[in-house]
Structure 1
Amino acid sequence: MQNLERFKFLFEALGVDGDSFKSLRKHVSGLKERPFCLLHADLHRENFIVDSDRKLWTIDWELAMFGDPLYDLATHLYLMRYPLRQERRMTEQWCTTVEKIRPGSSNGVEVDLPRLLDYKRAQSVFTDVIREALSLDAEPDHRRRLARAGAKLRRILADAAVPLGLDSVPSAGRIVSALEQWHHDHASDRSSGWQ
């Protein structure tokens, strides 16, 4: 609840409110059933290591959970940002492999994978808006950082507009203004040590 109050203005200024959650729930409703399994939930190139014996290892299991195996594929594709051809090939190989190991794990992939990718796009809005807002103090001249943050968050919001039900996406300038206002409004929080 504390974070809701802390970031509510910022999200509302970006057009993300309680209706966005309703839209997201509606957008991903009706997913097919798949047998749950252990998920890494953060599979990207920095979390793979090939050792001297050419064995592949996965590190950084802090987000691991039990859930829908297709969520792991969606997370991987979202984080890796493969070109479309590679994304399709990766999906085909994943489906072939996972069906041998745990039949039913790719059930409904054609319909559900795009919805789970949309979910990942929407999830990124919340993570990245908060990350960018909190990082403003990390750079002495945060004006340059603000310009980069405005452009980055505009792209992220545009990618998530459909699943979040956003009628419009604010301009980079409007995003920068909202971040500046939030930063100004929370100066006393930072001086009191609230992080």
Structure 2
Amino acid sequence: MNWLDLYEQARASGEAAAGYYNRNVAVRTAEGMVNVRIPLDAADSMDVRLWTEQDVLGCIRPYVSQAPELRHSSSDPCFQVHHFIDGRVLDSFSPRGSAVPPHVIGDVVAVMDQLVRIPQEKAPGLPADWPDSGDVGGFGRRLAKLTQQVYDTHRDVYAEIFEDFGIPAEPLAVLESQWDGLTSRPFAVLHSDLHRKNMIVSGGLTWFLDWELALWGDPLYELGIHFHKMDYPVDQRSEVLRRWREGLPEASTTGPPSDLDLYLAHERIKSAIVDTVRYSKQLVGADRSMRDHLTDRLARKLNAARPVWDAAPDMTRERVAQTLAPWVERQSWTP
């Protein structure tokens, strides 16, 4: 197979599914469909990046049953080719906040269990300064440090917006004293981005995509970021938690509910900052329907974070739109 030809076909295609870091293009070959995955130019880095996705896919292949198979990767030009999974993205028929098909819960817990069973020696290498396994406080501070860096990077441009939204200049300070109180748990490979747009349902099974944010860290963080991004109905959230505690090794699930609450608080803060930046950029050139959709979503994310800072969750779509309007107008103006 001529991989470079596949890459050029994908680059020229007007049909792609794009996240924040990659374009995914389905390309037909003589051997069947494949997914060509191309990094987006100048994507804002808003997440901890530890490994390359191709290294992660190679690591997890003997252990994780429902992840894409890596067919080819190239560093120049930069792209990957994955086997194509023919199915429906979970978000397309079960959007955030709604109940998921029952089998999805079982599949989610199963992939979390498969990941915690990967030995450290089989995972890609770690930086010398990465927290040791079990140093959960160090891991939490690593997450918080990146979130603060995202804030600092955009502080000058978004200063007035952050202030109006009630985002403090040191947004992570409220959590600092709590990291050392976390229970020690052995580290594991984490997907770190298990949400509805990264799941494809096919033939009664859930396939898990987009492994570029995989980490070596606390298994409870996997559950925390999953809960934050899925926004399950209460009964399904409880079901996931119960099955997670019953299905994973006891060492991976030990600890009080406050440990999970701390990770959720971090994700709410991170989302308030990151999505203020991302959504404001998406508002430039958006039509009325998309503007309403984005400002409503951002209001909800801000309201989820504000109690962490002891502020009332009183942001409205109208207030968000009013605050962002001058910034959006400046970006839309061309001389």
Contact 1:75/1:117 (8 A) holds in 2: yes
**Structure 1 residue 124 and structure 2 residue 274: aligned?**
no
**Matching residue of 2:220:** 70
**Matching residue of 2:243:** 93
C-alpha deviations, 1:22-78, integer Å up to 9, x for none? Answer: 2243566622221111110011234334666x7754221011111111010111122
SS in 2 for 1:148: helix
**Matching residue of 1:137:** 284
**Structure 1 residue 175 and structure 2 residue 320: aligned?**
yes
- Going by fraction, where is strand more abundant, 1 or 2? 2
Gaps of 5+ in 2: 1-151
Out of 236, 260, 269, the position equivalent to 1:113 is 260
Contact 2:172/2:266 (8 A) holds in 1: no
Gaps of 5+ in 1: none
**Structure 1 residue 44 and structure 2 residue 160: aligned?**
no
SS in 2 for 1:38: strand
**Matching residue of 2:291:** 146
Distance in 2, matches of 1:180 and 1:56, equals 40
C-alpha deviations, 1:100-130, integer Å up to 9, x for none? Answer: xxx4211214221122222222221122211
**Matching residue of 1:6:** 157
SS in 1 for 2:223: helix
C-alpha deviations, 1:76-113, integer Å up to 9, x for none? Answer: 122222211111111111122221xxx42112142211
Aligned residue pairs total 184
Q: Pick which of 70-79 and 20-29 moved more.
A: 20-29
Contact 1:36/1:67 (8 A) holds in 2: yes
SS in 1 for 2:189: strand
SS in 1 for 2:181: coil
Identity across matched positions, percent:
30
Letter in 2 for 1:88: S
Q: Pick which of 108-117 and 60-69 moved more.
A: 108-117
TM-score computed with the length of structure 1 as normaliser: 0.78
SS in 2 for 1:104: helix
SS in 1 for 2:171: helix
Question: In terms of Rg, which structure is larger?
Answer: 2
- What's the RMSD between the two structures over aligned residues? 2.7
Q: Pick which of 78-87 and 24-33 moved more.
A: 24-33
Distance in 1, matches of 2:169 and 2:276, equals 16
SS in 1 for 2:184: coil
Contact 1:161/1:167 (8 A) holds in 2: yes
**Structure 1 residue 17 and structure 2 residue 162: aligned?**
no
Distance in 2, matches of 1:6 and 1:177, equals 17
Distance in 2, matches of 1:47 and 1:149, equals 20
Contact 2:200/2:208 (8 A) holds in 1: yes
Contact 1:48/1:58 (8 A) holds in 2: yes
Larger relative contact order, structure 1 or 2 (CA cutoff 8 Å, min sep 6)? 1
Distance in 2, matches of 1:26 and 1:68, equals 18
SS in 1 for 2:253: coil
